[in-house]
Amino acid sequence: MLDGKQFYFAGTNAFYLGSTDVTSDDQVRTFFQVQSANGVKVVRFWGFVNGYGGGSVTSTPHPIQSSVGQYNEAGLKRIDLILSEAAKQDIKVIVTLANFEPQFGGIQWYVDQILGTGHDRELFYTNSQAMQYYRQYVSTLVYRTNTFTGTQYKYDATILSWELLNEPHTTDNYEKNRGLQPGKMVRDWLDEMSTWLKGIDSNHLISSGEEGYRADGDTSGNYANWINGGYKGVDFVGDINLPHIDFATVHVYPDNWGIPASDFEWVRSNVIADRANIAHSAGKPIIMEESGMKTGYVGSRNSFLGDIYQWASENNYAGTLVWQVYAWNYNDGQYDFNYKMDGAQAMWNQYGYMNSK
């Protein structure tokens, strides 16, 4: 719901916007102007850039958080700019607060900062100091006053959701190999952090950022065991039933999951419909927060996205965000594309459809 009405949207991921080393201020302005002109209503970006260096840290020379608790004002002003420019174009944003993977300094960075190198990144979910520094960074954002608009973040209607973590999960079979209940570590962390965050900001939605892995699903078939059987340490059913997780997220990458093009439609009922049924049974919306394909997976990107979005519509997904369509001439030869390439027509179709609902 937004302003008392059901809110449907389509848009794109743009994880890179928060880094001053990856994009200039002018590019941020151009990004929102172009995306708005094409019909985008929501953009998801990473609202963190941690540390800099090699090894387990993959970041950029000018991070927002150089070491735990040490913040770069120029980096924070970049987030100010993103919120300001999004508001000018009537675009909402999902702000992701940390990353399981190493890009932009993921949760391993927090563990390394506190314990030194050589420790499991999963300690991020249980180490009290790691949780303290994560809360400190999130609090810095929640209570920050935007230098462009004068609005404190916790009151900024441009923010659609705070997202606790990009793709929370564990190393494969991490809990199973230790005799632990698969999914409990991540679920306990999501419960604690969502409860805490809702306590300091009740104005915004909170999402988990998870991909849709289950710990208790049907494990028959070629692909279902690792997606549904607790292999990834995530319990989709338990997580969406947490009281302060406001909507469900799924990330849909059949090619990356090892599903051949000939079995592409497997995701229709086994992932897209199944996760929607779970979310709706919990009384909560669901969005397809990431989806995409590498060039050549099932023919055209237009065809792939058209099918994926049709299946999302069949199951009343409230939003879809592609990974990822650029506002300028960029193509990485894999998942990223722009409005002059295959995939653009599917995006325009989806923008028009979702914006008309």
Residue 89 included in any domain? yes
Q: One digit per residue, pLDDT tens: the chain, 357 residues?
A: 677 778 999 999 999 999 999 999 999 999 999 999 999 999 999 999 998 654 445 567 889 999 999 999 999 999 999 999 999 999 999 999 999 999 999 999 999 999 999 999 999 999 999 999 999 999 999 999 999 999 999 999 999 999 999 999 999 999 999 999 999 999 999 999 999 999 999 999 999 999 999 999 888 777 777 899 999 999 999 999 999 999 999 999 999 999 999 999 999 999 999 999 999 999 999 999 999 999 889 989 999 999 999 999 999 999 999 999 999 999 888 999 999 999 999 999 999 999 999
Burial class (CB in 10 A: 0-12, 13-18, 19+), 176: middle
Residue 240 maps to which CATH number? 3.20.20.80
Q: State which residues form the domain around 94.
A: 9-355
- pLDDT score at 331: 84
Query: Which 3 state secondary structure label does DSSP give 67?
Result: strand
- pLDDT score at 51: 85
- pLDDT score at 58: 54
CA distance linking residue 280 with residue 291, whole number of Å: 20
Across 196-257, the runs of DSSP E, i.e. the strands, are 205-207, 248-252
- pLDDT score at 176: 94
Burial class (CB in 10 A: 0-12, 13-18, 19+), 235: buried
- pLDDT score at 59: 61
Which of 251, 153, 242, 163 is CA-nearest to residue 207?
163
Residue 137 included in any domain? yes
- pLDDT score at 338: 97
Residue 38 included in any domain? yes
Residue 237 included in any domain? yes
Residue 1 included in any domain? no
Residue 2 included in any domain? no
Number of domains composing the chain: 1
- pLDDT score at 217: 85
* Count of other CB atoms within 10 angstroms of residue 190: 26
Residue 154 included in any domain? yes
- pLDDT score at 60: 72
